[in-house]
Each structure stands twice: as structure tokens, then as C-alpha cells.
Amino acid sequence: MTSLHPGDQLDHYRIEGVVARSGMASIFRATDMRNGRQVAIKVPHPEMEADPVLYERFKREEEIGQKLDHPGVMKVFADDDRSRVYMVMEWVEGRLLRQLLGEQRRLPIDRTLRITIAISDALDYIHRNGVVHRDLKPENIMIDASDGIKLIDFGIAGSAGARRLTFGKLSQIAGTPDYISPEQVKGKRGDGRSDIYALGVMLYEMLTGKTPFAGTNPFAIMNDRLLNNPVPPRELNPEISPELQEVIYRALERDPQNRYSTANEFAWDLEHLDQVGVEDRAELRDWQHRRTPWLRRILFYVAMALIPIVVFGVLLFVARHG
């Protein structure tokens, strides 16, 4: 772990306290002694610095943060004069959306719409600048006292023109099981529509208190979104209008080509619900019919078991007729 403590000095920053720790880095609140500005400092653990792929991921997060400048995106400050590797970010007062949901379970509709539209605006900005977040979830959304938002943690974000990181956990499935898009489950890199899917999941969760797909483990959750339809939001919260429910379904389309193509389109529908046409969706009728991958898995194992038998039969035939 990173050995910094309150009162320590890191270049021209005074460490005030630890904010969070993860498997790869620690985040500290600090004061820039040149101007008194409060900042957040992300310091990678030594083992992360020693891993070339993890180190590149950290540097990419920093580069992406430095090029983005939007009130809904946490700013990363450039500073070449440093004694070690770390990232300096703006200090944001507020709480994570996850904390808010933990306290209230579900949010009022008007507040949910306000937060979702603000997130859509930030997403539209980063997408137009060639960046896909790829790990959008309540843990990566900061909410201030006025319901202003900040997107944080671009650790697995994709940037136009950047090469793909190619070690197991990042290249196969990037994202979090509850919020990952179907195309990412299938191992595809995803684009802006993957972020829109994740925002659709969060919209569902803010309105109902539940995520749309469930399972006993991460793989079961991801399988569920490939095979089944969620409980219609109005079944869980009758205050949701048919139009708002339709918007959720459009964001959660399994095929990205049927999803909102931009975050701006998503926000426009949320701002003009009276103009949203409601489709007669099969998802509203067959959601109780649950499909499982067990039959497919059983057939696979049967086929594997038959291979030696078939091979033995072929060899026996050749031996007898050779």
C-alpha cells in the first residue's frame, strides 16, 4: 500500500487524509500549498507501477482527464514536475450516487430525470471528444447538493486512436456486471452506445430501487441480460409513466443498433416525454418467461463426451477395413 499519511508533503501538496483505497491505487485529499486549492491525489500502489499494462491504464486515465474540460467531468490537472507517479484531480464536494441510492433505495421521478439528463450531457461531451467511459455506474457518479454531477474514474475508458489494453481482465470484459452492455459481455470493445446502456440501467435502478438483471454471480447476471427481459419498470413503480418506461426500454435495447445512438437523443426524450411514442413491446408480455443457458451447456457437454466415442469408432472401422 502507498505509505502517505496526513501531514506528509508530496512535492508541493500537503496530504490531508485518505479518501479511498482500491486494489490499484489510493486517493488522498490534499492542499496545493502554492495557492491553497483543495485537490484529490490518486497514487498507484507500487505493484501497479511495476506492471506495464496497469501503468499504461493509469497514464491513459490521466491523459483522458487532462484533455476533457466540462462541468460534468472531473478535471485532471497537468503538472510535469513530480517526484513520483501520481494524478492530481479537482476536489469535488458531494456524494456518490451509490451512497444516495443506499440511503433512499429509489429516487423521486423529477430528481431522477434531472440527474439522468445531467449525466447524458456529460456523456454527450466525452463521446464527441472521442472518449467512451466503459464503466459507468453509481460508484462513478458524484452528486453535489444541487444535483450537479461529475463523471469520475476513467480507468478503463477507451479513447479514439488508443491501442487496446490486452491483458485478461481488461480485454475480455471491461465494466461492472450489473451495468455492462450486452456487446461488452460478448467481448466487444463497445462504443458510446455502451455508456448509454449503462445509463439506462442506472435510470431503471434510480426509479425502481433494483437493477434490471440479477443472478447469483457476475456471470449469471451477464447471462441474464443476454437471455431475458427485465421486470417492466411500471410493475415495480406504478408512478412511472408508459412514456418514461419506453425511454428505459430504448436505452436497454440488447442490440446497440436499436438503442439511442447518442446521449443527446436520450436526454431529448427525457425532456420531452409527452412526445415519446409508446411501442407494443414483446418485453412487456414475456418478461416472466425466464430462459437459462443450461440446455445449451448440457448439449455442449454431451457433444464433448461423444467425441472420444466417435474417434474410437472411426479408428475401429479403419482397423477392421484397413
pLDDT in tens, 35-60: 999 999 999 888 877 788 888 888 88
Q: Reduce the secondary structure of the chain to three states and give it as a string.
A: CCCCCCCCEECCEEEEEEEEECCCEEEEEEEECCCCEEEEEEEECHHHHHCHHHHHHHHHHHHHHHHCCCCCECCEECCCCCCCCCEEEECCCCEEHHHHHHHHCCCCHHHHHHHHHHHHHHHHHHHHCCEECCCCCHHHEEECCCCCEEECCCCCCEECCCCCCCCHHHHCCCCCCCCCCHHHHCCCCCCHHHHHHHHHHHHHHHHHCCCCCCCCCHHHHHHHHHHCCCCCHHHHCCCCCHHHHHHHHHHCCCCHHHCCCCHHHHHHHHHCHHHCCCCCCHHHCCCCCCCCCHHHHHHHHHHHHHHHHHHHHHHHHHHHHC
- Of the pLDDT bands very low, low, confident and very high (cuts 50, 70, 90), residue 171 is very low
Classify domain 95-291 at the CATH superfamily level.
Transferase(Phosphotransferase) domain 1 (1.10.510.10)
Task: Identify the weakest region by mean pLDDT among 20-34, 121-135, 149-163, 208-222.
Answer: 149-163
Predicted TM-score (pTM) of the model is 0.83
Is the predicted pLDDT of residue 187 greater than 50, yes or no? yes
Per-residue pLDDT at 318:
55
Catalytic residues, by residue number, are 135
Level-2 CATH architecture, domain 9-90: 2-Layer Sandwich (3.30)
Per-residue pLDDT at 158:
80
List the domain boundaries for the chain. Answer: 9-90, 95-291, 292-322
Per-residue pLDDT at 40:
94
Is the predicted pLDDT of residue 174 greater than 60, yes or no? no
